[in-house]
Every structure is written in C-alpha cells, then in structure tokens.
Amino acid sequence: MAKVRDTKNRINAVSKTRKITRTMEMVSTSKLKRWQTLVLASRPYSEALKEVLLQLSSSPAALSHPLMEQRKEIRRAAVLFITSNRGLCGAFNNIICKKAHQLRDDYSRKGAEIELFAVGKKGISYFRHLGIPLAYTDISIADKFSSEQCRELTRLLSDAFLTHRVDRVEVVYVNFISAGSQRLVSEQLFPLSVPAGPEREIRETDFIFEPDPEEIVNTLLPLFAQSTMYRMIAENTASEQAARRKAMKQATDNAEDMITYLTRRLNRERQYQITKELSEIVGGSEAIKAG
C-alpha cells in the first residue's frame, strides 16, 4: 500500500503545480494583450517622427547635430540590456545577458572600454554573479514602466554620449514581432541613425518648414531618441510576457502528461495489490482444504 500512497501524493503535488502554472499562463496572456496594444499604439508615433526627420536628414542642421555625430574611433562604448525582474519565462533573460556579455567581449577585443547599463533584476544578478561591474542598475522600470522613467534613462545615455564619456550606445532587447514570434536584437541608440531621405531633385514634394529646419531638428531628435527607447522597453516587456506565457503553457502540458502517466501507474499498482490479495486468499483457502 505504500507505493499506492506515494503515487497518490505525487499526483496531488503535480495537480497543485498544474493549477499554479495554468493561472500564471492566464495572467501572462492578459498582460500580453495589454502590452501588445501599447506596442502597436506607440509605433505610429515613432513612424511619424521618422517621416519628418526623413525629410530633414539631408539638411546641414541634421547632419551636424551632436546626437548624430559619427565618431571614427570607438574608444568607449555603453551597452544597455533590458531584462525582467521575474523568472519563469524560459530562456528569455539568459539570451539577453549572453548577448550583452558577447558585446562586452567584442568591444574588449577591439581595445575599447565598455560600460554596462542593466535594467531588471535578472540581468543585474547575472553579471554580479560573474563579478563584472555595472555602471548603472535599475529595477523599477521593469515593474512600473512610465514615460518619465524612459525620459530619464534616455537623458542619462544621451548625456554620456554628448560629454564624450562614451562614443556609442547600444541596446540589447527582444523585438516583439507577434504573440508567437520575438527576436533578440542589438540596436544602436547613439549616435542616432535616421534613414537618409531622397535627394531634393528627386523628391515628389518640396517641404517648407516653419520654424527653420535647425530648430525643428533640435526639438525632434531628443524626442526621437525618447520614442525609440520607449519602443524598445515596451517591445521587450511584451516579449517577456509572451515568453512567460509559452513557458507556463509548456509546464502545464508537462504536468498534465505526468498526471496521466502517474494515474496509469496508480491503476497498475492497485490492480497488482488486488491480484496479490486475491492470490493470498485463494492460496490460504487451498491450504485449508488440503489440511
């Protein structure tokens, strides 16, 4: 009977685990819908900014702006990597940390110094465990993401670039394509890279800007940087929820498979126990008759 009791206990334990993973899957699905809506809503704003800057990209004001300064030699670089504060999302955080680590090694081989900016507890724990120092850490953005926090983080990175503390800023995050597809990317934030606009002679429309292009560029480029940062963090958070939903779905399916297996095993053990008891009864009866 001990085996039957142990199997029952295992079935009860796995059933409780299945309830937890199924609940977490439902929560992640709800959060994913909210973040997916936020990502889709932020894209038209970024595209509109990019379209205006597209028409200004060939002007001297845009090319000479400090945020677009292309430096020939990269002596010092900054890598911002965005992870989550919580686990149970598969390999989501691990691939981000490994990519940031790879970029650090690549810059080091080229003779450049590297500063690591970490957002999220998982990324901070990863590099602290390796004994690698971090220039900046933040765990609040992953939980309470707001435009003000995004603005402060963008200002911190832009100040580092404008003061020549770093010559390039890269951001490692997971790009949200759809609920079933996400892609790890390393995207350059500074210097800003606006797509080159068409030459004046081949433009279909020649725009007249009011105020002058230089003032527009000085106003829009910081907004474009903030919009880009906002999009990166929003897409990374949406990808996190998609990864967690997938991981919890797999955990729930595995729990159901294990319950099915243990139930069959329990039935076999019960049948064996019944057969054994019947055999003992029949054997005892035959012994009495023979006596």
204 vs 225, higher pLDDT: 225
Out of 3.40.1380.10, 3.90.1580.10, 3.40.50.300, 3.20.20.100, select the CATH number for domain 27-246: 3.40.1380.10
Helices (H), the chain: 2-56, 60-63, 92-109, 121-130, 147-162, 213-290
Beta bridge partners of 174: 184
Residue 66 DSSP class: G
pLDDT band at 8 (very low <50, low <70, confident <90, very high): confident
Q: Yes or no: say if 112 and 74 are a contact pair by the CB < 8 Å rule.
A: yes
Q: Output Rg (C-alpha) for the chain, integer angstroms.
A: 29
Question: How high does pLDDT run on average in the chain?
Answer: 84
Nearest to 154 by CA among 136, 134, 133: 136
Determine the straight-line distance between the first and last CA of the chain, rounded to whole angstroms. 31
289 vs 182, higher pLDDT: 182
* pLDDT beyond 80 at 117: yes
Over residues 242-266, the pLDDT tens digits come to 999 999 999 999 999 999 998 888 8
Over residues 126-170, the pLDDT tens digits come to 999 999 999 999 888 766 777 888 888 999 999 999 999 999 999
User: Which numeric CATH code is attached to 2-23+247-290?
Assistant: 1.10.287
Q: Which amino acid is at 224?
A: F
Mean pLDDT (whole number) for 78-94 = 92
Q: What is the reported pLDDT for 97?
A: 95
* pLDDT beyond 80 at 224: yes
Q: What are phi and psi of 143, to 5 degrees?
A: -100, -45
pLDDT band at 285 (very low <50, low <70, confident <90, very high): confident
User: What is the SS3 assignment for 212-254?
Assistant: CHHHHHHHHHHHHHHHHHHHHHHHHHHHHHHHHHHHHHHHHHH
Q: Yes or no: say if 158 and 166 are a contact pair by the CB < 8 Å rule.
A: no
Q: Which amino acid is at 114?
A: I
* pLDDT beyond 60 at 206: no
Q: What is the reported pLDDT for 205?
A: 47
Domain ranges of the chain: 2-23+247-290, 27-246
| % of the chain residues with pLDDT over 90 | 44
